Amino acid sequence: MAEVSLRGVKKQFGATQVIHGVDCEIEDGEFVVIVGPSGCGKSTLLRMIAGLEEVSSGDIAIAGKVVNTVEPKDRNIAMVFQNYALYPHMSVYENMAYGLKIRGLPKTEIRERVDRAAGILQIEALLERRPRQLSGGQRQRVAMGRAIVRDPAVFLFDEPLSNLDAKLRVQMRVEIRKLHQTLRTTSVYVTHDQVEAMTLADRLIVMNAGRVEQIGTPITLYEDPATLFVAGFLGSPAMNFLSGSVSADGRSVALPGGVTAPLAATHGAAAGRPVTVGIRPEHLDLAGDAPPTATIKVDLVELLGADTIVHGRIGDGGLLLARIDGAVPIRTGESLPVVLAPNAVHLFDPGTGARI
Amino acid sequence: MIEKKGMGTWLTHAVLILGVLTVAFPIYVTFVASSLTLREVLDAPMTLIPGSHLVENYRTALFSGTRMNATPVAGMLLNSLIMALVIASGKIVISLLSAFAVVYFRFPLRMVFFWMIFITLMLPVEVRILPTFKVVSDLEMLNSFPGLTIPLIASATATFLFRQFFMTIPDELVEASKIDGAGPMRFFRDVLLPLSRTNIAALFVILFIYGWNQYLWPLLITTDHRMDTIVIGIRRMLAAGDDQIEWPVVMATTMLAMIPPVLVVVVMQRWFVKGLVDSEK
């Protein structure tokens, strides 16, 4: 068990800077997910923690000890790879035992540890098989088993579920979470899938273009995004962004098509300025008898059963998605009056993307 | 696969049988000749029915050789076997190691070394035979096994082949073994070697036959009869001068010379067929 600290960690390949200084303290036993789009540097960051990439500047410490120059094998970490990286010529048992064998553990202890890990992951029946005789989900379990038997201070996961099909991914996600609740090992998990990130994380690190956008619990980041990027990245369907301008008194914001949305707090400083307005689709609801905030011109309706996604427009440029509970009969071309909760409106600076 | 019917089947079979006959007939004639007396061989046309002197001819070949070239074939077979085995295994060991170095290590002038190895592909033994002979003779390695084998061991082809194979092994496997705590040589032994075993088997067959069939190099550097390889031996048996060539014994020697390569192919075939069927990566 150990905490992981990143202090001003930077990475450059040649002249290209790919990580521009990351600071983060990961507590003992915490499950931290690093999430971001492809190429944001999240995998590189994880590989630096693993010791597979050198740190260009800054410090990485595991359990209070700076490990910048420590070999991967001496960092007391275990890593689960995207392509599983199982040794194809070894049986499942040998795959899991290999690291222990190298460390020179006695045979009986290796047997014991592998059996215990196999029990936790329910792969006892597969121990004599070769990786190629296993399905994707089973391979993933073996890869995790290989990590568990080492009893490391930190688990590192590099997009471990992205090669699995959608159903299996959901199932394995739950299992990883349960596993963490059982073992309570500090874990760092990299993914580009925001659902995975939201469901697994104790804390999220959202990265974009080599920079940390925001760190916090999933629900904080969802409800209170610090930047336009975080707001747009988390949530599915994604947050609606409209260009608008704050009224002179700072109490409402003007949206395209002559719509005025009230604000929960007075934004005096932003008064009269153009802003980007963020509205989550689920915060738009059918107006019913209440006076509508806006009227959406419906372009397309997606009936998902549990909810209905309405693609529509307000005014000319204002594309809008609304997510309405239940299967509601809405027709394409209809004008749909909707209400908007005032405390659900997020304002961002259109230049910097920062929250106002 | 689409199955052919009627004429198609007959035609394909006819072509195949013709092909087999073309290859097998000369071998059969050799076999028949190795079972006759010299007089019977020289009869024109030679009979195609095996005679009764099979054991006698093979015994003569193996343990005494022809009268003019009184070197027993058993010794030559052993020489050839040692040479072919040393060349094949030497080439495989050296090229595995050099491919390992070129693919997995970053050292100064890495690509220069790779290209240097690669360029030697253009220089087969025949092209560099005089300088190589000079070096071997200066090192006093004439008429010795080191002299026979070492100059033939360096192999660009096999290095290149292993390099290409190593490059198909996913990087994550290397990283996983690093995290498991395996050092470079441990990774080489525990992961690379087992994964390359079908490639090694295939190469071994090719290289064993290459070594076994060497003619020009052993001809140059061996003068001592005790160092004769089987291929050289056959040639010496044919250089009988004014004497009559002892065809039955020569043919028996030829048959004997064919056995080891055939055995190697038959035994190793299982391996590389297996390698082709289950590609595990």
pLDDT digits over A257-309, tens only? Answer: 778 888 877 777 777 788 898 999 988 888 878 888 888 889 999 988 888 99
The reply to whether A240-348 shares the fold of A4-233 is no
Give pLDDT, residue B54: 87
Contacting residues for A102 by C-beta, under 8 A, at least 6 apart: A73, B180, B181, B182, B186
The span from the CA of A267 to the CA of B9, in Å, is: 88
- Candidates B177, B182, B195; nearest CB to A88: B195
Phi, psi dihedral angles at A138 (to 5 degrees): -65, -40
CB contact (8 A) between residue B180 and residue A73: yes
Report the 10 Å Cβ neighbour count for A330. 18
Chain B residue closest to A150 (CA)?
B180
Q: Is the pLDDT of residue A345 over 90?
A: no
CA nearest to A314, candidates A339, A297, A333: A297
Question: Residue A78's pLDDT is what?
Answer: 92
Beta-carbon separation of A98 and B175 below 8 A: no
Domain at B65-277, CATH class: mainly alpha
ipTM greater than cut 0.85: no
Q: Are B29 and B236 in contact (CB under 8 A)?
A: no
pLDDT at B269: 83
Pick the CATH number of A240-348 from 3.40.1190.20, 3.40.1160.10, 3.40.50.620, 2.40.50.140: 2.40.50.140
Q: In which residue are the tokens 């688990």 written?
A: A155
What pLDDT sits at residue B240?
A: 66
Whether the per-residue pLDDT at A349 is higher than 50: the answer is yes
| Spatial separation of the C-alpha atoms in residues A75 and A110, rounded to whole Å | 20
Three-state DSSP state, B215: coil
Per-residue pLDDT in tens (0 to 9) along chain B, 281 residues? 566 667 788 899 999 999 999 999 999 999 999 998 888 888 888 888 888 888 888 988 888 877 777 788 888 999 999 999 999 999 999 999 999 999 999 889 988 988 888 888 788 778 888 988 999 999 998 999 999 999 888 778 888 889 999 999 999 999 999 999 888 999 999 999 998 888 888 889 889 999 999 998 999 888 888 888 999 888 888 876 777 888 888 999 999 999 999 999 898 888 767 655 655 44
Contact A88, A131 (CB under 8 A): yes
What is the tens place of the pLDDT at every residue in A12-36?
Answer: 988 899 999 899 999 999 999 999 9
For the cut 70, the answer to whether the pLDDT of residue A145 exceeds it is yes
Residue corresponding to tokens 């192999």: B155
| Interatomic CA distance for residues B92 and B99, integer angstroms | 10
3-class secondary structure per residue, chain A? CCCEEEEEEEEEECCEEEEEEEEEEECCCCEEEEECCCCCCHHHHHHHHHCCCCCCEEEEEECCEECCCCCHHHCCEEEECCCCCCCCCCCHHHHHHHHHHHCCCCHHHHHHHHHHHHHHHCCHHHCCCCHHHCCHHHHHHHHHHHHHHCCCCEEEEECCCCCCCHHHHHHHHHHHHHHHHHHCCEEEEEECCHHHHHHHCCEEEEEECCEEEEEECHHHHHHCCCEHHHHHHCCCCCCEEEEEEECCCCCEEEEHHHEEEECCCCCCCCCCCEEEEEECHHHEEECCCCCCCEEEEEEEEEECCCEEEEEEEECCCEEEEEEEECCCCCCCCCEEEEEECHHHEEEECCCCCEEC
Rg of chain B over Cα atoms, rounded to whole angstroms, equals 24
Residue B158: in which H helix or E strand, if any?
Answer: helix B156-168
Please report residues of B whose CB lies closer than 8 A to that of A82: 172
What pLDDT, on the 0 to 100 scale, is given for residue B67? 72
Query: Which of A67, A89, A91, A190 is best to mutate for the B interface (most B CBs within 10 A)?
Result: A89
Report whether pLDDT(A57) > 50: yes
Inspect the interface and report whether the beta carbons of B172 and A87 lie closer than 8 Å. Answer: no
Residues in chain B closer than 8 A to A50 (CB atoms)? 175, 179
The strand pairing partners of A273, in sequence order, are none
Residue range A308-330: mean pLDDT, rounded: 85
> What is the least distance, in Å, from the CA of A205 to any CA of chain B?
24
Query: With contacts defined as CB-CB under 8 Å, which chain B residues touch A49?
Result: none
DSSP conformation letters of B4-47: P-THHHHHHHHHHHHHHHHHHHHHHHHHHHTTS-HHHHHSSSPP
pLDDT tens sequence across A84-142: 899 999 999 999 999 999 999 999 999 999 999 999 888 999 999 999 999 888 999 99
Residues of A whose CB is below 8 A from B281 = 88
Give residue B198's pLDDT.
84
- Mutation pick from A81, A139, A150 vs chain B, by most beta carbons of B within 10 Å, is A81
Q: Using CA atoms, how far apart are residues B61 and B249, in angstroms rounded to an integer?
A: 6
Which CATH topology does A4-233 take?
Answer: Rossmann fold (3.40.50)
Upstream peptide bond of A237 is cis (omega within 30 degrees of 0): yes
Nearest-by-CA chain B residue for A49: B179
pLDDT the model gives residue A30: 93
For chain B, which residues make up each domain, given as ranges?
Answer: 65-277
Distance from CA of A157 to the nearest CA of B (A): 12
Tell me what the pLDDT averaged over chain A comes to: 89
Q: Helices B156-168 and B193-212 sit at what angle, rounded to 10 degrees?
A: 160
Q: For residue B120, report the phi and psi dihedrals to the nearest 5 degrees.
A: -65, -15
Distance CA A152, CA A188 (A): 12
Confidence grade of residue A180 (pLDDT, cut at 50, 70, 90)? very high
Q: Where are the domains of chain A?
A: 4-233, 240-348
C-alpha to C-alpha distances, A232 to A194, A227, A319, B51, B72, nearest whole angstrom: 11, 9, 15, 91, 86
Helix (H, G, I), strand (E, B) or coil at B128: coil
3-class SS of residue B105: coil
Band of residue A204 on the pLDDT scale cut at 50, 70, 90: very high
Residues A230-245: pLDDT tens digits?
Answer: 999 998 888 999 888 8
What is the per-residue burial (b if ≥16 Cβ within 10 Å, else e) of B189-217?
A: ebbbeebbebbbbbbbbbbbbbbbebeeb
Query: Average pLDDT of A146-156?
Result: 91
Residue of B174, B180, B199 to mutate, interface with A, max A Cβ within 10 Å:
B180
CA nearest to B213, candidates B83, B40, B47, B24:
B83
B176: closest chain A residue by CA: A85
CB A92 within 8 A of CB A101: no
Return the DSSP state at B71. -
pLDDT value of position A254: 85
How far is Cα of residue B190 from the mean position of the Cα atoms in its chain?
Answer: 28
pLDDT at B281: 42
